[in-house]
Amino acid sequence: MSVEAGYNQWAATYDEVANPTRDLEKVACEVMLQDRAHGAVLELGGGTGKNTSWVAERCERLVSADLSREMQAVARAKVTAANVEFLIGDVRQSWQFGTGFDLITCSLILEHVGDLGHVFNEAAEALKPGGLFYVCELHPFKQYAGSKARFDSEGGEKVLECYRHHVTDYTKAAVAAGFAIEDISEWFDGSDRAGLPRLISFLFRNKE
């Protein structure tokens, strides 16, 4: 199922159904981005606004971009902060999101993007020199075990178009675009560090 059509359908239930990946990413985002000053922020694939209000409270202005009008409609209905601007756009295309950002966030979307190099090159252009790029995705170990973005609909389970990215796919694409790797963290369900990590997060620093 195409990503856009899938999220347009999933939007009605995305916030309501149990989703440990969604919930753990919120924890990761808040741990990784707390205690930092953020001026202008670009949120890629902001979806239903799970992180939008929290980030907006910690920055001067936030642009939240998404491919899916229905996902973004949920965010527009619940995010009331005056410093948030919503845009429809596709990170696989040439970015029309603006430039001069201090921080770009990207939570749970690169699973749906084949060409990571394009995203990192556009991010480097959109960020100020020295700006931060936060990326948090389903851990490749989970992908190797068969996990994919999927949801239940009246017509049965829908599985979205997904790409498998290895850890070095992220790091090599980032370094090739001029980023330095500031942090890599792995996120587990509860305190069970004996199991597979569910998520991997990266903080990349744009070249000065």
Ligand X SMILES: C[S@@+](CC[C@H](N)C(=O)[O-])C[C@H]1O[C@@H](n2cnc3c(N)ncnc32)[C@H](O)[C@@H]1O
Q: Which residues bind ligand X (CB under 6 A)?
A: 3, 7, 22, 25, 45-47, 50, 66-68, 71, 90-92, 107-109, 112-113, 149
Buried b (16+ CB within 10 A) or exposed e, 115-139: ebebbbbbbbebbeeebbbbbbbbb
C-beta closer to ligand X: residue 116 or 177: 116
C-beta closer to ligand X: residue 163 or 194: 163
> At closest approach, how far in Å is the CB of 141 from ligand X?
18
Indicate the burial class of 147 (C-beta count within 10 angstroms; 0-12, 13-18, 19 or more).
middle
**CA–CA dist 142, 139 (Å, integer):** 5
Q: Is 163 strand, coil or helix?
A: coil
> At closest approach, how far in Å is the CB of 92 from ligand X?
5
C-beta closer to ligand X: residue 3 or 135: 3
Q: How many CB atoms lie within 10 A of CB 154?
A: 5
> At closest approach, how far in Å is the CB of 165 from ligand X?
13
Q: Are strands 38-44 and 59-66 parallel, antiparallel or unpaired?
A: parallel
> Closest-CB residue for ligand X?
47
> At closest approach, how far in Å is the CB of 71 from ligand X?
4
C-beta closer to ligand X: residue 153 or 180: 153
